[in-house]
Structure 1
Amino acid sequence: MGKLVMGLGALLILEAAADAKTIRVKPGPDAGTRLQAALIAAQPGDRVRLAEGVYRLTTGLSLDVHGVTVEGAGAGRTILDFSAQEGAGEGLLITSSNVWVTGLTVRDTRGDGLKSKGSDRISFTDLEVVWTGGPKPTNGAYGVYPVSSTNVLVERVKVRGASDAGIYVGQSRNIVVRHSVAEYNVAGIEIENSMNADVHDNVVRHNTGGILVFDLPNLPQMGGHSVRIFRNRVVDNDTPNFAPEGNIVAEVPVGTGIMVMANRNVHVFDNEVDGNASAAFMVIAYAKPFASEGYHPLPRDVVVRDNRVGRNGFAPAFPGGAEIAAALGGMLPPGMWDGVTRWTSAGKSHSDTVNIWFKDVPAVSLGLGRADASPATARPQPHVAPSAPAVAEPAAVVLPADQPGRG
């Protein structure tokens, strides 16, 4: 039998179950107050169920209770509308673990759409995050944004219009991003400063750049490695870069297919890559000065193999790209490595062997040598790969058996 609970001046209807309860919320006046009250009232094992309709919210929501499911009636049916949001916070910020968010559309947040921080076993499934005004630098930075989290699942999610990355997983471990669509963002999908990630069976189209695997300095977790990018469709990434000035992705050239920067043991295979004007595959060093002790700015042990590659590299938009393409007959080959093997940090010079392995596609080294070299000094020449990959493919990511929403 159900019971009534008062919280924050809002009436919540709790339906008792054998080992958990369902808190039902409907749209209407004071929807934000009532929904936040439900998230506060929830206990581990509870389900916060949002009825179909539009919830017009003026402030962001937060959840800090472990083991809660937030469930709508389906993307496009349950809509959290933040178009009148005050401030620049997230739509929903989750700082607890064993949480599943599913069946919602999040619309027009001032900040990020859905964010988890410090979570373990966090799942985002069957969701949509969209900025309805089209690509604009005033849109929120990230659509779905797990950061500093472990055991991350992003599945059947669609993001459109993020001014940084549609689906971004940063400083996290054990990650699966699959069966999702990212379009009209600056970056479609980005894996940054993270370890052990599988990104597969996604459609990534009409972004500035398709799939990015980065490692950046000056962050609590550095040394990203062991990423597999496979069975994705990365096509027609042609949206002009609309990132706010100063953002690292503001430097991503329009028409980038798959880019690996300063990350280790990244395997890119069995993808369809077509219609990307700058390049199909870009493998580059982090070229800016940095002071992070232990940071390694070079990509290492990158394998690009067995992909289905169409027409790419026909109008490269990065500095010096047009000149390099002209020197190569008017078009870049599918694979491009900047040729950097040396860098300087803390006044000392460093070098390393990178092992960039392209299989079955032509590739070029720009021959820059140093991370701080000007693109004007590029001396493009065919890249001669090692005879075989230097390291084995990373193991498949396995999420815990009790991961919420795990299919």
Structure 2
Amino acid sequence: MTKWHIAHLACIAAVIGAGLGAAPPAVAHPQTHVVSPGESIQKAVDTARPGDTVRLTSGTFHESVTVSTPGLTLRGTGRGTVIRPAAKKAADSCAGSGNGICVVGTKDRNVEGVTVARLTVTGFAGSGVFAQSTDGLTVRHVTAVKNGVWGIAQERSVRGVFRHNAARDNGDAGLFLANTIKAEEGAADTGGTVVAHNRLEGNRIGLTVRRLRNLTVADNHLTGNCAGVFVVGDENKPRAGALTVSDNHIERNNKSCPKTARLDALQGTGIVLTGTEDTLVTRNRITENAGNSPLSGGIVVWKSFVGTTSERNRITDNVLEGNAPADIVNTDTAGQGNTFQGNSCAASVPAGLC
């Protein structure tokens, strides 16, 4: 063996040995940051890195919180972890808008994979939880009570999951999902957002879905609101719809709410479709929703408030009892392709839809 071969083999051995002996690169493991009443939630959130958990102990916290870190989990211990407004409103945009917890991305990039869980938000002038520009947000086991506008709200977001929440006695909707709140735009594709197993009670509207497509509303219990579910579209393109409302229990939404600048007085409304297309309403149990509003009834198909018809919606296999003025009300007789099949009900307007 030549000196060159010996030197070459020695060099290879040295490289292999160095590789075997080198320490592996450091891996950042998710951490849990524990926050107790009197300590700052926002400080812990700002310190946390993607994938971390900020865990709130039982007790009352007086502040608003903004989350923009991807993969962050903000979790309490249950209903005993309570977030209320601070005595002095902070200058940040979340508190300044009267909201409790804000999960916000940017105009150019959604914040991904955030979870808000197991806590109560109450007493905020705006929303208990407000999300904007999110992807894959999960809100679960959150109780949103007596907030001025919405209990839990989301806009400009995709692939959200809202499960096992309770929204009670909020000024507008218990749960509010929209393409955008302020601008006039066509319906947005949510990428399969899921709203399931929530209890929505005592709000103006239990659930509002406005100008959205491709989502599922299933297995929710809505009671004691002025109206149960509103699916809202208008003349913008694409149209709202291509979504499913199924297996919900919607009963006695007979609270009375006065007329507003955007909406007539509400009382006794189960499900309203207005200005929507290709929406499936199926296997819901809708009982004892009764009132004297133009929108009263079990399932109501209504021309949009700017005159756009509802088209190709399928109302099938629902059980409706004791709703007034009727179990099914179709005032949008100009709408094309709306079908009513297999529903168990006693009365409809016009007749013949049961």
Say whether the fold is shared (TM-score over 0.5): yes
State the AA in 2 paired with 1:268.
V
Correspondence for 1:266: 279
User: Which of these residues, 321, 324, 329, is aligned with residue 336 of structure 1?
Assistant: 329
Correspondence for 2:12: none
Correspondence for 1:82: 85
**CA distance in structure 2 between the aligned counterparts of 1:384 and 1:268, rounded to whole angstroms:** 14
Correspondence for 1:198: 216
User: 1:215 deviation in Å?
Assistant: 1.2
Aligned 8 A contact 2:234 2:305 in 1 = no
State the AA in 2 paired with 1:212.
F
User: Which of these residues, 139, 143, 149, is aligned with residue 151 of structure 2?
Assistant: 143
Q: Residues 27-53 of structure 1: CA distance to partner in whole angstroms, max 9, x if unpaired? A: 02xx4xx11111211211111111111
Aligned 8 A contact 1:237 1:257 in 2 = yes
User: 1:222 deviation in Å?
Assistant: 5.1
Correspondence for 1:292: none
Correspondence for 2:339: 356
State the AA in 1 paired with 2:169.
G
User: 1:236 deviation in Å?
Assistant: 0.4
**CA distance in structure 1 between the aligned counterparts of 2:103 and 2:217, rounded to whole angstroms:** 22
**CA distance in structure 2 between the aligned counterparts of 1:187 and 1:84, rounded to whole angstroms:** 29
**1:256 paired to 2:269:** yes
Correspondence for 1:373: none
User: Which of these residues, 102, 127, 143, is aligned with residue 117 of structure 2?
Assistant: 102
State the AA in 1 paired with 2:151.
G
RMSD after superposition = 2.3
**CA distance in structure 2 between the aligned counterparts of 1:216 and 1:82, rounded to whole angstroms:** 35
User: Which of these residues, 93, 97, 109, is aligned with residue 102 of structure 2?
Assistant: 93
User: 1:304 deviation in Å?
Assistant: 1.4
- Per the alignment, in what secondary structure is the counterpart of residue 137 of structure 2? strand
Deviating more after overlay: 303-312 vs 109-118:
303-312
User: Which of these residues, 117, 139, 151, is aligned with residue 124 of structure 1?
Assistant: 139
Q: Residues 100-123 of structure 1: CA distance to partner in whole angstroms, max 9, x if unpaired? A: 000110011111110110100000
- Per the alignment, in what secondary structure is the counterpart of residue 54 of structure 1? strand
User: Which of these residues, 169, 178, 187, is aligned with residue 170 of structure 1?
Assistant: 178
User: 1:288 deviation in Å?
Assistant: 3.0
**CA distance in structure 2 between the aligned counterparts of 1:300 and 1:83, rounded to whole angstroms:** 47
State the AA in 2 paired with 1:303.
R
Correspondence for 1:369: none
Larger radius of gyration: 2
- Per the alignment, in what secondary structure is the counterpart of residue 36 of structure 1? helix
User: 1:240 deviation in Å?
Assistant: 1.3
**CA distance in structure 1 between the aligned counterparts of 2:101 and 2:277, rounded to whole angstroms:** 32
- Per the alignment, in what secondary structure is the counterpart of residue 299 of structure 2? strand
**CA distance in structure 2 between the aligned counterparts of 1:252 and 1:217, rounded to whole angstroms:** 23
- Per the alignment, in what secondary structure is the counterpart of residue 171 of structure 2? coil
State the AA in 2 paired with 1:141.
V
Q: Show the 5 A alignment for 1:272-291.
A: 272-277=285-290, 278-288=296-306
User: Which of these residues, 20, 31, 49, is aligned with residue 21 of structure 1?
Assistant: 31
Q: Are the structure 2 counterparts of residues 106 and 363 from structure 1 closer, same or farther at C-alpha, using a change threshold of 3 Å?
A: same
**CA distance in structure 1 between the aligned counterparts of 2:298 and 2:195, rounded to whole angstroms:** 20
**CA distance in structure 1 between the aligned counterparts of 2:339 and 2:60, rounded to whole angstroms:** 49
**CA distance in structure 2 between the aligned counterparts of 1:169 and 1:70, rounded to whole angstroms:** 21
> What TM-score, normalized by structure 1, do the two folds share?
0.69
Correspondence for 1:396: none
Identity, % of aligned positions: 24
**1:241 paired to 2:278:** no
User: 1:362 deviation in Å?
Assistant: 5.8
User: 1:252 deviation in Å?
Assistant: 5.2
User: Which of these residues, 42, 48, 66, is aligned with residue 42 of structure 1?
Assistant: 48
Q: Are the structure 2 counterparts of residues 127 and 165 from structure 1 closer, same or farther at C-alpha, using a change threshold of 3 Å?
A: same
**CA distance in structure 1 between the aligned counterparts of 2:235 and 2:347, rounded to whole angstroms:** 28
User: Which of these residues, 306, 310, 314, is aligned with residue 299 of structure 1?
Assistant: 310
Correspondence for 2:22: none
State the AA in 1 paired with 2:46.
I
> What TM-score, normalized by structure 2, do the two folds share?
0.79
Deviating more after overlay: 300-309 vs 98-107:
300-309
**CA distance in structure 1 between the aligned counterparts of 2:225 and 2:203, rounded to whole angstroms:** 5
User: 1:71 deviation in Å?
Assistant: 0.7
User: 1:169 deviation in Å?
Assistant: 1.2
Aligned length: 301
Structure with higher RCO (Cα < 8 A, 6+ apart): 1
